[in-house]
Amino acid sequence: MSRKTLILGGSILAVAVVVIAVVVLLTLRDLTSFPTSEEAGISFETIASTRPAGSTCLNEAGGAGLAKELVNLRERVVVVGAGTNLMPDDVWEDYNPRFPWQKNINRNTLFDDHCFYRSPGVPVDCAGDECTIVRELDGYTWLELSAIEAQDCLPTQDAGCSADSVEPGAISITVTSKCHQIIFTDEIYELADPAGNRYVMHATDTGTPDLNAAIPDGWTLTRVELDESLEVLPFGGGDNCYHNVLRDNLGQGYHQVFFAEPQYP
């Protein structure tokens, strides 16, 4: 084989390696980012939906605790540890799922009670176990909790939001399909924006709410004593189950509880 042929072959191989690397990077970028509401064609009425008559809560009663969540980046589905073989806390601490699964940051919940009544995509007239989609991964059972529809970023789309991190001064809004009712009874940590939208903190990464999150200018984050219970239902009206789930730069999560406009976005 001539030296010229070897050089040509090496050049072709080098180009092929570069092309493969670019394709892999572009694929990973697509899998680790979600479309905006505009790109996904997501829009819904900002009125509360109703729980179907006769539906039952598929979770155990009670509130605060560590929710173990995984995100399937390819399917854009979020699952939560549940069922007959729940992953123990000590296993979860060092757990590293296989791609396209990604471990969500710790979700130490703050609500006092909740009711999960249907996995995404399940018919509204389901009953009992038919209402849940259960998966098995690495020997443990997981329940399909929500489907990720879109991700928006405030105060601007380029403020610094990705699928799993938020830059200081930005707020990520993930539009999810999640048939989940959340109840707060004593106190809440309320996030509010200048437009009049309000959000309630439902989970933290550390287990302790932090009012010093680097939120956008004009936003406020305050602790509020409740005079009566606060119930957060899905939005969209009828049988729709849209929740806007926010995240700040500290990994604190919020559910939108009041919309300033009749339509989102």
pLDDT in tens, 115-139: 999 999 999 999 988 999 999 999 9
Partner residues linked to 115 by β-bridges: 181
**Domain encompassing residue 60:** 45-264
Q: Is residue 200 part of a domain?
A: yes
Tell whether the model's pLDDT for residue 5 goes beyond 80. no
Close Cβ partners of 13 (under 8 Å, ≥ 6 residues apart): none
Per residue in 163-190, pLDDT (tens digit) is 778 999 999 999 999 999 999 999 999 9
Q: Is residue 2 part of a domain?
A: no
**Range name among 6-10, 12-16, 86-90, 240-244 with the lowest pLDDT average:** 12-16
> Token pair for residue 165?
């991190």
* Nearest-angstrom CA–CA distance, 177 and 243: 6
Q: Is residue 33 part of a domain?
A: no
Average pLDDT over residues 186-214: 96
Task: Name the band, by pLDDT with cuts 50, 70 and 90, for residue 10.
Answer: low
Average pLDDT over residues 204-230: 96
Q: Is residue 219 part of a domain?
A: yes
Close Cβ partners of 101 (under 8 Å, ≥ 6 residues apart): 70, 71, 72, 73, 137
Q: Is residue 7 part of a domain?
A: no
Q: Domain total for the chain?
A: 1
The answer to whether 229 and 185 have CB atoms below 8 angstroms apart is yes
Task: Name the band, by pLDDT with cuts 50, 70 and 90, for residue 33.
Answer: confident
| Residue 18 CB neighbour total at 10 angstroms | 10
> Token pair for residue 134?
């259960």
Q: Residues for the chain: how many in total?
A: 265
Q: Is residue 11 part of a domain?
A: no
Q: Is residue 225 part of a domain?
A: yes
Average pLDDT over residues 157-164: 89
**Range name among 48-57, 182-191, 203-212, 227-236 with the lowest pLDDT average:** 48-57
